Structure 1
Amino acid sequence: MAPLTRRQCLAGLAVTSLGLRGDPAHAARPPRIACLEWTSAEMVISLGIGPVAVADTKGYRDWVAGPALPAFCLDLGSRGEPNLELLLELNPDLITGAYGYGLDEAPFKRIAPLHTVPFYDGSEAPYRQAENETRKLGAQLGREAEAQRLVQETAATIAHVNAQFSGRTEQPLAVISMFDDRHVRVYGKGSLFQDVLDRLSLTNAWTAPTKSWGFSMVGIEQLVAIGEARLISLDPIPPHVKIRIDQSSLWANLPCVKAGNVRTIPPIWPFGGLAAAARFATLLARA
């Protein structure tokens, strides 16, 4: 079957035009939501609503992966410069975004109400903030029950994984993302991953200072500081970087690499919400 054109998608979305809670005629129908970035998109999908459009859908599928975007979801262009013309055509009931992207809110507010998720604003630990923001978004969308269920299911998933680790001697671990063959992003204090590690009673081998978003950007040689700790590397790793890493003597001589303690796990959005937290715990248990 040939893929749908943008015009066909827009026409189909128009036929199923939906309203937010407060419109009795559409109370049972989910709203039409456009997401300017991936954190709020993950949250919306986790509450059982498929967004009509998300910025950089390919990036979402590569870097976030789960929960999956619906097939009908359109691409809004880059997260730094979403397509205003397409947003106008879509006429969404709600636009969602997240703190930290530096976008001027005014043009979006002229199209539809704007809901901003203030993750990593320094007011709360990321996991606790994810719980609170999930409840807030659920209340706005008339999905309070779904939001509370997500909060409870995420806590239950983490508790289940914690029980799997209980009684086992787990060596410290560090979590990284690779972007080139000389530098890595290492997640530590202030990150969602650190909050999950704490709930799993696991020790983060990376104790160096982090940025406000909960990571350090360091040269690969600085990973010598974690010794033979387990190293958890997040996909995706760009193919050309993987080739260079495999050929790098600097990488090969790291104690954790020489000890065979490197594991690669599927993508998890480090700046995500509860779905990312549960996904991280689950994938760690399999690593």
Structure 2
Amino acid sequence: MPNPDRRRLLAAAGALLIAPLAAHAAPRPLRVVALEYNLVEMLLALGLTPVGVADLKGYRRWVGLGQQTLFGCVSVGTRQQPSLEAIAALRPDLILGVDFRHQPLLPLLSRLAPTRLQASDRTGNGLALMRQDFRQLAVWTGRSQAAESELARLDDCLSRLRGQLGPSAKQRMGVLQGLGGSPQFWAFAGNSLAGGVVDALGWQNAWPARDARQGIVTLTVEDLLDSTASLTAVTDPRADFTRGALWQRVPAVAEARLRRLPADTWLFGGPWSARRLAERLATAWAPAAHAICSGAVSP
């Protein structure tokens, strides 16, 4: 005949054995969908791979940082028009977007999962604004310690590069990016990431305003004809916007104070993009600065 006291004793002993295992079981990884490139990069820098990314192909092409960890990640449409069906199928715990693209979609996205939108049009130093965004994202995902470690690496890199640049940094510097098929191009103001990195390396930004819309000033080559600033342009060798006839009259071009960076130099990203931009800027203007930062960022 079964002994009820013995069965209770065995059950209690089993519970004691299972409890420690349950207490130490790893929590399920947070399932996050990121609808903008800088959010993807920031998540990867925090050690968190998103389950869904808007325009995954575009991220790999234009940003590339950490892309090897995105294998198996699902594309959820475009950044401007993400697929609600694709997002819902991923059963996310959190959806991340930016206000200038995704504010109209917020009620719909919020029905699928808690949704957070980062602000995109603010005033201040662009590098400091990126730090705020990164720390905010770390709070949303419970990864604040990882964020501080990554920002410390960025600070160390900037300090080393600034020291390496030395006197060459005592000049005005402008960062430009072409617009495909257009005579206009973007110049990066003080409230852009590029403007913040320029300041951090010791240069004076050619466009210091800290209240430009999304950190960008739209110019034409005519606007540079009387500029004394040195220039660094992010260019595509197949369509280099700085090689037109009128560009030869720009003082920085005529005096060999123009440097070019590869087309995959992303100017709207997080700490990895900031570090890669700083490394490329420093190397372009002081070749001895090459690979001075430990743990160089690479795709």
TM-score, normalised relative to structure 2: 0.77
Aligned to 2:56: 57
Q: Counterpart of 2:282 in structure 1: which amino acid? A: A
* Structure 1 residues 119 and 210: CA distance shift in structure 2, 3 A: closer
Q: Shift of residue 264 of structure 1?
A: 1.8
Q: Deviations over 1:117-174 (max 9, x none)?
A: 224334x533223223322322332322211101211111111111111244643221
Equivalent AA in structure 1 for residue 87 of structure 2: L
Aligned residues of 2:169 and 2:202 also touching (Cα < 8 A): no
Counterpart Cα distance in 1 of 2:112 and 2:178: 37
Deviation at 1:281, TM superposition (A): 1.1
Match of 1:92 in 2: 92
- Alignment partner, residue 220 of structure 1: 221
Which residue number in structure 1 is paired with residue 115 of structure 2?
Answer: 114
- Matches of 1:38 and 1:232, distance apart in 2: 23
What's 1:148 paired with? 148
Matches within 5 A, 1:67-216: 67-68=66-67, 70-101=70-101, 102-122=103-123, 124-168=124-168, 170-179=170-179, 180-206=181-207, 211-216=212-217
Q: Measure how far apart 1:183 and its partner are.
A: 1.0
Q: Structure 1 residues 91, 169: closer, same or farther in 2, change over 3 A?
A: closer
The percentage of aligned residue pairs carrying the same residue is 29
Mapped to 1, the partners of 2:210 and 2:199 lie a distance apart of 17
Change in CA separation of 1:279 and 1:117 when aligned onto 2, cut-off 3 Å:
same
Amino acid at match of 1:201: G
Change (3 A) 1:259 1:31: same
Q: Judge conservation of contact 1:189–1:214 (CA < 8 Å) in 2.
A: yes
Does the CA-based 8 Å contact 2:191-2:209 persist in structure 1? no
Distance 1:169 1:107, change over 3 A: closer
CA distance in 2, matches of 1:208, 1:152: 27
Partner of 1:17: none
The match for 2:233 is 233
- Bigger-Rg structure (1/2): 2
Match of 1:285 among 259, 263, 282: 282
Query: Matches of 2:63 and 2:201 in 1, distance apart?
Result: 22
Name the counterpart of 2:292. none
Q: Deviations over 1:217-252 (max 9, x none)?
A: 01122122323x4321114x384x43x754x21223
CA contact (8 A) 2:221 2:247 kept: yes
Give the superposition deviation at 1:63: 2.6
CA contact (8 A) 1:176 1:234 kept: yes
1:245-264 superposed matches below 5 A: 246=243, 248-264=244-260
Structure 1, unmatched stretches of 5+, are 1-22
Give the equivalent residue in structure 2 for 1:269: 266
- Residues 23-34 of structure 1 mapped to structure 2, 5 A cutoff: 27-34=26-33
Determine the C-alpha separation between the residues in 1 that align with 2:115 and 2:24. 22
Give the structure 2 partner of residue 35 of structure 1.
34
1:65–1:268: 8 Å Cα contact kept in structure 2? no
Question: 1:99 Cα deviation (Å)?
Answer: 2.7
Separation of aligned partners in 2, 1:26 and 1:108:
31
Q: CA deviation at 1:29?
A: 4.5
